[in-house]
Amino acid sequence: MPDDATPPESAPPDSAPLTGAALIKDQVSRLPDTPGVYRMFGEGGESLYVGKARSLKKRVIQYAQGRFHTNRIALMVDLTRSMEFTTTRTETDALLLEINLIKSLKPRFNVLLRDDKSFPEIVIRREHAAAQLRKHRGAHSIKGDYFGPFASAWAVTRTLNTLQKAFLLRSCSDSVYESRTRPCMLHQIRRCAAPCVGLVSLEDYGGLVDQAEAFLRGKSRTVMAALGEQMQAASDEMEFEQAARLRDRIRALASVAQDTQINPETVEEADVFALSAEGGQACVQVFFFRAGQNWGNRAYFPRVDKSDTDASIMAAFIGQFYDDKPIPRLMLVSHEPEECELLREAFCLKSGHKVDIARPARGEKKGLVDHALTNAREALGRRMAEGSAQTKLLAAVAETFALDAAPERIEVYDNSHIMGTNAVGGMIVAGPEGFQKSQYRKFNIKSTEITPGDDFGMMKEVLRRRFSRLAKEEEAGENPTRPDLVLLDGGAGQLAVAQEIMADLGVDDIPLVGVAKGPDRDAGLERFFLPGKTPFMLEPKSPVLYYLQRLRDEAHRFAIGTHRAKRSAEMLKNPLDEIDGVGPARKKALLHAFGSARGVSRASVQDLAKVEGLSEPLAQRIHDHFRRG
């Protein structure tokens, strides 16, 4: 691919060496107007940046002009002490070379894929007369059929165990195979047909191998149908043991299809990429679909800058991801990558087959992308909440709200109800270790004096119950857990309510902050309310804002989840549960006799008394219960 390399020319010995924009401007005068790759190096020769261009001259001159979109690019130019250039025949060749160089040099200012480990696969090794089924990782140096990638070794092991049950293929090495004089334990537990000692002919064993291959290529229904016919034939011939063995094999195959979380009907082979980027961090979830089955997923956290766009992150990630991996015919993405057509052309050139990169707008494929995107957001939330950046975030939170020190315990409160019914309050806790779910608390709103739907009244009850207990424990000389910061879902009104309660209980030294949602509940437009201060907003890309949003969203998730659970329990409540003397056994007998609680309510005393286990006085009590008032 590369045609030549142009080393940087050294400056005259009697002048100071050129640096930064001056160095780049000097290099531009000798650059060709052709595709290629450029590299920037720092003081110690460390790699700063690798880029590709349709025209090296036109692209690199932009760095010399000093008009930078971000401070990050300005810093990169300022640190540049030398450059190298490689021309290529086409822009596609330049893209492939750029990907290789980024992977090998790991430049400081590039989006960089980290934790790039090879994926495990399943291989049917056919270089032996009795093919072997085994796990494989790395280059395809063994002759055989490869199936993958699987997201984890655990997923491969689970699938291998199932395939052994279903197709009875050997997993032993050739040396063990040749030395066997009697069947091994795997044959005893019906996981191997034992071709090593001739319990199955090589021809019949080859048939099992072909069935396994067909199943892994997505022809599961055909294989299971054929096994079903064999089972029926064995049953008709009264060979019930054989029929039972075939039944067990069918069940094993069915478990493979059912255990994978999502098995699409319209996607045979595809990799799904979903990107979630917040506050200078990013997560890309990759799902693998092969043979119409979900073969697992893996989360990646590439090194990015908060100035990088979603399109540029996706392009850089996908390009580096397939540098050393087989390329599928279809990639489904949550964000269309930058220069998508060029990327598609490069993949086609590298793989030798047509490759499509699509961002689906509807249907099952969009559902797959949405599912992956949900996983990406959740994984990034966990990473940002629990990772090493937590200390910096908490310090920034302390600075934002003028706290004396980084908070060790943050409590966030939210309420949930529908038209005032099944009202609950929720408290979540976060700190240096992330979300502390064992500390979460729910509050069933008990007061009968609260008007249904009164959010202020509900918040009063929740805070009074939480902090009156704290005050009593402190008064008793105990050492209760005291929050360093309390966040409330709401604005000035909720903050005023909280101040009133805290003052009454003598714990008004605990910092309070109200978080009011933006217009139309838009994320990024939240306003923050502190006692005695003017409400303010944070920068849209502020890591502190993203962190506080996640805290608020987690509190909302917990509160609404608690509310839904309470509402569901209320809906499932049976009127029979309210009748003294009607336990589970009698309730079951009544429902069996009359079909429903409504049927019981319409029954006469005489009909009720006929139910097994019911006396006439209890029948009368049940009859009266449904006719009160």
Across 63-71, average pLDDT = 74
- Rounded Cα distance between 352 and 334, Å, is 25
Provide the whole-model pTM.
Answer: 0.49
Q: Report whether the peptide linkage leading into residue 149 is cis, meaning its omega lies within 30 degrees of zero.
A: yes
Q: Which residues contact residue 268 at a Cβ distance below 8 angstroms, ignoring those fewer than 6 apart?
A: 218, 289, 290, 291, 292
- Rounded Cα distance between 463 and 82, Å, is 62
* Residues 242, 292 within the same domain: no
* Residues 536, 407 within the same domain: yes
Across 109-114, average pLDDT = 81
Domain boundary, last residue among 212, 235, 259: 259
- Rounded Cα distance between 565 and 416, Å, is 11
pLDDT over threshold 90, residue 511: yes
Please give the pLDDT value at position 255.
Answer: 59
* Residues 397, 372 within the same domain: no
* Residues 588, 552 within the same domain: no
Please give the pLDDT value at position 386.
Answer: 58
| 318, 343 contact by CB (below 8 A) | yes
| Sheet containing 356-358, strands listed edge to edge, beginning at the edge strand earlier in sequence | 293-300, 281-290, 270-278, 330-333, 356-358
Please give the pLDDT value at position 11.
Answer: 45
Take residue 400 and report the two structure tokens written for it: 């934002």
For residue 110, being part of any structural domain is answered with no
For residue 265, being part of any structural domain is answered with no
What is the residue whose two structure tokens read 């979380």?
A: 261
For residue 115, being part of any structural domain is answered with no
% of the chain with per-residue pLDDT over 70: 86
For residue 502, being part of any structural domain is answered with yes
| 41, 81 contact by CB (below 8 A) | yes
Please give the pLDDT value at position 529.
Answer: 93
* Residues 553, 509 within the same domain: yes
Please give the pLDDT value at position 50.
Answer: 92
Task: Report the CATH number at residue 497.
Answer: 3.30.420.340
- Burial bucket for residue 478 (CB in 10 Å: 0-12, 13-18, 19+): exposed
* Residues 224, 133 within the same domain: yes
- Rounded Cα distance between 568 and 434, Å, is 30
User: Three-class SS of residue 78?
Assistant: helix
pLDDT over threshold 80, residue 449: no
Domain boundary, last residue among 82, 105, 128: 105
Q: At what angle do helices 340-351 and 310-321 cross, to 10 degrees?
A: 10
Please give the pLDDT value at position 478.
Answer: 77
72-99 residue pLDDT tens: 888 888 899 989 898 988 888 888 888 8
- Rounded Cα distance between 334 and 508, Å, is 46
Please give the pLDDT value at position 602.
Answer: 85
Segments forming the whole domain that contains residue 600 = 575-625
Confidence of residue 10 (pLDDT cuts 50, 70, 90): very low
Please give the pLDDT value at position 625.
Answer: 84
Among 55-59, 419-423, 619-623, which stretch is predicted with the lowest mean pLDDT? 419-423
* Bigger pLDDT: 185 vs 523: 185
167-217 residue pLDDT tens: 888 888 888 888 888 888 888 887 888 899 888 888 888 888 888 888 777
526-575 residue pLDDT tens: 889 999 899 998 887 788 898 898 898 898 888 887 767 766 665 556 67
- Rounded Cα distance between 494 and 497, Å, is 5
Torsion of CA 540, 544, 548, 551, to 10 degrees: 130
- Rounded Cα distance between 396 and 232, Å, is 69
- Burial bucket for residue 90 (CB in 10 Å: 0-12, 13-18, 19+): middle
- Rounded Cα distance between 72 and 48, Å, is 11
Across 3-16, average pLDDT = 51
Please give the pLDDT value at position 185.
Answer: 84
Q: Tell me which residue of 435, 428, 433 sits closest to 390, measured CA to CA.
A: 433
| 301, 283 contact by CB (below 8 A) | yes
* Bigger pLDDT: 205 vs 454: 205
Across 490-509, average pLDDT = 88
Take residue 612 and report the two structure tokens written for it: 């097994």
- Rounded Cα distance between 167 and 252, Å, is 9
Q: Tell me which residue of 127, 209, 135 sits closest to 166, measured CA to CA.
A: 209
- Phi-psi category of residue 339: left, alpha or beta, with phi > 0 → left and psi -120 to 50 → alpha: left
* Residues 204, 283 within the same domain: no
| 343, 319 contact by CB (below 8 A) | yes
- Rounded Cα distance between 392 and 410, Å, is 15
Q: Which amino acid is at 194?
A: A
> Could you tell me where the beta strands, DSSP code E, fall in 468-508?
485-489
* Residues 355, 396 within the same domain: no
For residue 114, being part of any structural domain is answered with no
Please give the pLDDT value at position 261.
Answer: 44
DSSP string over 135-175:
EEESS--SSEEEE---S-HHHHHHHHHHHHHHH--B-S-HH
What mean pLDDT, rounded, does the chain reach?
82
* Bigger pLDDT: 182 vs 628: 182
* Bigger pLDDT: 147 vs 320: 320
pLDDT over threshold 80, residue 612: yes
* Residues 416, 507 within the same domain: yes
Please give the pLDDT value at position 571.
Answer: 54
Neighbours of 347 (CB within 10 A): 24
How many structural domains comprise the chain?
5
Please give the pLDDT value at position 572.
Answer: 53
Domain boundary, last residue among 357, 386, 415: 386
Please give the pLDDT value at position 275.
Answer: 93
Largest Cα span, the chain: 117
359-387 residue pLDDT tens: 998 888 888 899 889 888 888 877 776 55
DSSP annotation of 389 reads T
Please give the pLDDT value at position 96.
Answer: 85
- Give the highest mean pLDDT range of 49-63, 255-269, 288-302: 49-63
* Residues 306, 280 within the same domain: yes
Please give the pLDDT value at position 263.
Answer: 53
384-427 residue pLDDT tens: 765 556 778 888 999 999 998 889 999 999 887 665 466 788 89
Task: Report the CATH number at residue 583.
Answer: 1.10.150.20
* Residues 146, 248 within the same domain: yes
* Bigger pLDDT: 241 vs 116: 241
Please give the pLDDT value at position 400.
Answer: 92
- Rounded Cα distance between 228 and 190, Å, is 18
* Residues 588, 616 within the same domain: yes
Please give the pLDDT value at position 605.
Answer: 87
218-271 residue pLDDT tens: 666 677 777 777 788 878 778 777 787 777 777 766 655 544 444 566 677 888
Print the SS3 string covering 528-560.
Answer: EECCCCCCECCCCCCHHHHHHHHHHHHHHHHHH
